[in-house]
């Protein structure tokens, strides 16, 4: 039975990691196509993407959109979760449902709806429009994580702070936020990750200044290349570094 358990575990990890391993290996392919057989290792593709101006601009655009939209979604989700957890109103359940509802809707439907709305109000396809779209899809995620993280002891501490004369912004800044630091970090980095690699909304709501996923899609239109593997490998490396750093610092500290 133990052997079967280990075999299942190894098969599971192989299923998850094999595509990533293949992506990384063939990013070093000394040839024009990232397909077997492996013809030798080279760093030329990494050098090419790091000197590609359009690709670096798209990378910067993705960082800006992901960072700002995640911060806005985090702040709004934190305020909504704190408010709905503080007071039980007759429509609280409906409010929570409306806030979480966008998580059940296809990104394509959200993007088309936003595109029509922006056309009505005069907002042209841009990074701003994309950022608003990412706030729409990440706000429910941040709200759900933070609302679930607010337990009875947090509610008691917030109530005690108010009873002692603290103003509402002081309660949120000095009491609620420090107590919810692991939840805030988890919500922010999940929102950042979703915004970082989101394609459909970015594709429909941008025009000239595009994000990295849209730029990668443009590269793929001209055919397969180890350069796209190199881009994917760098993005994966950054994601792994962020996750490992969080695990070794914030989350481990929170568990202690």
Q: What is the pLDDT of residues 78-134, one digit of tens each?
A: 988 888 877 777 777 788 888 888 888 888 999 999 999 998 888 888 899 999 999
**For 14-22, what is the mean pLDDT?**
83
The verdict on residue 7 lying in a domain is no
Mean pLDDT across 29-39 = 71
List the CATH number of the domain containing 38.
1.10.3720.10
Count how many domains the chain has.
Answer: 1
119 domain-assigned = yes
Average confidence score pLDDT of the chain? 83
Buried b (16+ CB within 10 A) or exposed e, 212-233: bbbbbeebeeeeebbbbbbbbb
* pLDDT above 70 for 226: yes
| Residue 3 in domain | no
Q: How far is CA 79 from CA 32, 43, 54, 56, 168, in A?
A: 51, 47, 38, 35, 11
In a domain, 187, yes or no: yes
135 found inside a domain: yes
Within a domain: residue 226? yes
Q: Which domain holds residue 101?
A: 23-255
Asked if residue 15 belongs to a domain, the reply is no
Q: What pLDDT is attached to residue 66?
A: 92
In a domain, 160, yes or no: yes
């Amino acid at each position: 039975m133990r052997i079967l358990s280990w075999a299942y575990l190894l098969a599971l990890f192989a299923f998850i990691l094999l595509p990533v391993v293949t992506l990384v290996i063939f990013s070093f392919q000394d040839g024009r196509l990232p397909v077997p057989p492996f013809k030798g290792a080279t760093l030329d593709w990494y050098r090419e993407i790091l000197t590609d101006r359009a690709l670096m601009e798209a990378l910067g655009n993705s960082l800006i959109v992901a960072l700002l939209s995640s911060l806005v979604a985090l702040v709004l989700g934190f305020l909504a979760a704190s408010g709905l957890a503080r007071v039980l109103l007759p429509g609280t359940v409906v409010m929570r449902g409306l806030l979480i509802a966008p998580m059940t809707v296809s990104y394509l439907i959200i993007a088309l709806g936003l595109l029509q709305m922006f056309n009505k109000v005069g907002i042209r396809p841009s990074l701003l429009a994309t950022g608003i779209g990412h706030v729409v899809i990440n706000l429910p995620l941040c709200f759900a994580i933070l609302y679930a993280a607010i337990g009875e002891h947090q509610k008691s501490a917030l109530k005690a702070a108010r009873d002692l004369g603290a103003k509402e912004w002081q309660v949120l800044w000095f009491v609620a936020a420090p107590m919810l630091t692991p939840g805030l970090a988890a919500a922010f980095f999940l929102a950042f990750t979703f915004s970082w690699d989101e394609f459909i909304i970015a594709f429909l709501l941008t025009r000239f200044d595009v994000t990295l996923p849209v730029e990668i899609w443009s590269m793929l239109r001209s055919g397969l290349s180890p350069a796209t593997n190199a881009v994917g490998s760098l993005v994966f490396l950054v994601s792994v570094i962020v996750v490992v750093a969080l695990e070794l610092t914030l989350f481990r500290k929170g568990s202690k």
